Chain A
Amino acid sequence: TDMTMSTWLPPAHILSTELEGWAASLEEASDGSLNVDIYPSQQLGAAPDHYDMARDGIVDMALVSPAYNAGRFPIFAYVEIPFSFGNSTTGTRAFHEWFLDYAGAEMGDVKVCLITLHAPGLMHFAKEGVETPEDLSGLRMRPAGPTVAEWLTQQGANIVPSSLPEVRELADRNVIDGTTLPWDMADFGIHEALSFHLDMPMYVGAQVHVINPSFYDSLSDDERAAVDSHCTPEWSERISTAWFDEAERFRVQLSEDDSQTIYAISADQKAAWRATSDPVRDAGYAAVSAKYADIDGAEIGAMLQEKLEAAGAAYDSVE
């Protein structure tokens, strides 16, 4: 059986190469009965349409960034609340396990297979001087996703939304003063324009990899077993760990680069930053309670925190 899989990332991206490895392993597990065809770089549809593409059968499996669909997946959006995740490795597994309980409610028209996190993201600026939340006021920031955007707005920053490939141009042209991204932003050359890095990893971004349910149902028992064995929190952790290692490589590279400034702030300043995320957290919880009658947003939020703590992936456990 041919399995058509779409991503919006370029083929050289670490997530693309990891997915190739995942696909090869899946093919092997099915004894060659499954054949995965990967179409990278938005060849089969725009990045924000990838959830619908899997749902509608345009492809069998798609790499989805729910951050592109503001307001549509409020439960999944918990992942992006700043100062929640301490790491993106065991954190991925914990989040995947937690989200499966709500996948039916939020992504009921697809099968959730994998959830991947990028390495904890931090803020990068064109100029020095941002040490406290107040320093963000008036800066033009390109946010990671809608939750981070809302958080930045609350700190008084101006939002300039853009896709990842455009960030470099915006930074080069002084359209933005900063952005939030993990260290592998250097892969896009963004560090050349934004060379001041506040050494305070503060949020994570997530992708969910979903499968068309009719395609899944049409598989033979053996094929389905192979897919099931590859749609697990363990696989999610494995892929995210590789991504984290990649980001670390860039962090080391930038720390050895004289043109780059990685600066730390005091513990008091960090505490001040942490306190700023409560409003977006509460708003995120409220959005869930409002959209799903039978789900209490705050309650499942607390469950996610517990889960993260148990996995050693809560924000506190790292400090």
Chain B
Amino acid sequence: MEGELVAILGFSALFVLMILRVPVGIAMGLVGVFGFMAMRGVGPGLNLLLNSPFRTASDYTLSVVPMFVLMGVFASRSGMSSELFRVSRAFVGHRRGGLAVSTILACAGFAAINGSSLATAATMTKIAMPEMRREGYEASFAAGSIAAGGTLGIIIPPSVAMLVYAILTEQDVASLFIAGILPGLLAVALYSGAIWIVSFRRPEAFPVAQRTDRRERIIALRDVWATLLLFSLVFGSMYLGVVTVAEAAALGAVGTMIIGVLRGRLDFPAIRECLIEALRTTASIFTIAIGAFLFGYFLAITRTTQNLTGFITALDMAPAMIMALLLLGYLLLGAFVDEIAIVILTIPIVYPAVIAMGFDPIWFGVIIVMTVSIGLISPPVGMNVYVINSIDREIGLVGIFKGVMPFLAADLVRLLLLSIFPAISLLLPSLMP
């Protein structure tokens, strides 16, 4: 059969299967196998299952994913997220909207030692939500700030989404992570700005909390040494280039565990539960990766990627215009589909065309992760909002989505700034030794 026709049928089948709630990875895998059959015969299609899934599962370069996941789980379990909240509250909590800003800062700190947004949102809901309630914050905005802060989990490195992008496009993980630092700080600034504007216009939403005295500040500050140490260990070694990324990730995971044990916060049963939690995340990511490789062979044999690249580069349209349309597409996709799944599903198709148009691969990696991260808090399917909703049952989905709106606006501003000034992401990697 003609490659183009099979490809169109394949994409349609993939869409139908996914909407009928077949797991994303399995839908991709099956369409890949059966699409390959249509092109090369039943035997060859089936034979894809002989090697590829095991090859993906045993791929050592992918081990960075479970390692960074594990690091985040250990960090959360050993109470590092609540320390971060305590210290940021001690310093800015007493200002107008200060607890919400504290939440954002604590999220950013926690994001620096873990790669997942859901973990960030979940752990901060438990820590920050009760505090903001107690101080009389409007629940929907309080939840909105946690949801938005949670997206920092994949915006600020280490980031599972960036990892997946780097592996798929064979880009240097360290460079991509380093490139994510300034945009992450920009996100923190813009979120704080959004809180400030809201608190300015509606003071009743964010009452002023009590000031913490200096002694308490110092005590709180002393507690964050572990976070600082781990972050500098992982990123310092990566920035200086003395270890591979896999080693830095393992260093982060094992280091977080050791610190947790030494501080008496992790015992053996707790470590076991952490391993299981990391395993669950790992399994769901690898299911998609396995499916994505199978689907990728189908894309290759139908020459879909090449055809698409040829089509896009032949368009009589400015690259900036095409990029704008592309990002709009990602925003729409992100509203419905899981962020990691989007990256795995689309990057192999889109990336060659983007590079052919002359865009920087590291910049594109950062901008894609920024764009899909918006999907985490945008209706109708915003995983961070869902996670908060599953922990705090009193506000309701609509309420949280309402509270998220100012932050969505901040996200769009950030996206615009990053597109206009690529240096925000590319400056730091250009300074790497």
Measuring CB to CB, which residues of chain A are less than 8 angstroms from any residue of chain B?
A: 4, 39, 43-46, 48-49, 52-53, 56-58, 165, 169-170, 172-175
Task: Contact check, A56 vs B44: say whether CB atoms are below 8 A apart.
Answer: yes
Residues of A within 8 A of B300 (CB): 39, 43-44
**In the complex, what's the smallest C-beta–C-beta distance from B35 to chain A, in angstroms?**
13
- Contacting residues, chain A, for B44 (C-beta < 8 A): 56-58
Instruction: Please name all residues of chain B whose beta carbon is closer than 8 Å to the beta carbon of A173 when the two chains form the complex.
Output: 241-244
- Interface flags for B192-232 (1: CB within 8 Å of A; 0: not) read 00000000000000000000000000000000000000000
The residue in chain A whose Cβ has the minimal distance to the Cβ of B248 is A173
Minimum CB distance partner of A214 in chain B: B43
CB-based contact B244/A46 at 8 Å? no
B48: interface (CB < 8 Å): yes
Count of residues in B whose CB is under 8 Å from the partner chain = 22
Contact at A175–B55, with CB atoms within 8 Å? Answer: no
* A56-B47 in contact (CB<8A): yes
Residues of chain B within 8 A (CB-CB) of A175 are 243-244, 247
| Docked-complex contact A52 and B51, CB < 8 angstroms | yes
Extra contacts besides A173-B241, A173-B244 (10): CB < 8 Å? A43-B297, A43-B300, A44-B297, A46-B51, A46-B52, A49-B51, A52-B51, A56-B44, A58-B297, A175-B247
Q: Across the two chains, which residue of chain A brings its CB closest to B41?
A: A57
Contact A52 B242 (CB under 8 A): no
Measured CB to CB, the closest approach of chain B to A275, in angstroms, equals: 35
Q: Is the CB of B241 within 8 A of A172?
A: yes
Chain B residues 14-53 with CB under 8 Å of chain A are 36, 40-41, 43-44, 47-48, 50-52
Residues of A contacting B170 in the complex (Cβ-Cβ under 8 angstroms): 165
- Nearest-Cβ distance from residue A86 to partner chain B, whole angstroms: 36
B52 contacts A45, CB within 8 Å?
yes
Complex: chain A residue closest to B433, CB-CB:
A172
Determine if B41 and A169 form an interchain contact, defined as CB atoms under 8 angstroms apart: no
Instruction: Across the interface, name the chain B residue whose C-beta is closest to A58.
Output: B44
- Cα separation A263 to B34 with both chains bound (whole Å): 56
Closest residue of chain B to A10 (Cβ to Cβ) is: B170
Q: Are B52 and A169 touching (Cβ within 8 A)?
A: no
Encode B36-76 as 1/0 by CB contact (under 8 A) with A.
10001101100110111001000000000000000000000
Decide: A174 near B242, CB < 8 A? Known: A45-B51, A56-B47, A57-B41.
yes
Give chain A residues whose Cβ lies under 8 Å from the Cβ of B40: 4, 57-58
**Cross-chain contact of B244 among A53, A165, A170 (Cβ < 8 A):** A170
Across the interface, which residues of B come within 8 angstroms of A4, CB to CB? 40, 301
- A contact residues around B48 at 8 Å (CB): 45, 58
Select one of A43, A46, A57, A174 contacting B47, CB under 8 A. A57
A145, chain B: closest CB distance, angstroms: 17
Determine the chain B residues whose CB is within 8 A of the CB of A174 once the complex forms: 241-242
Q: What separation, in Å, do the CA atoms of A173 and B52 have in the docked complex?
A: 30
Return chain A residues, CB-CB under 8 Å to B241. Answer: 172-174
Cα A95 to Cα B250 with chains together (Å): 44
Q: How far is the CA of A170 from the CA of B61 in the complex (A)?
A: 13
Question: Complex Cα distance A53/B43, Å?
Answer: 11
Closest partner residue, chain A, to B36 (CB atom): A58
Q: How far is the CA of A56 from the CA of B296 in the complex (A)?
A: 18
Residues of A within 8 A of B242 (CB): 173-174
Say yes or no for B273: interface residue by CB 8 A criterion: no
Task: Give min CB distance, A61 to chain B, whole Å.
Answer: 13
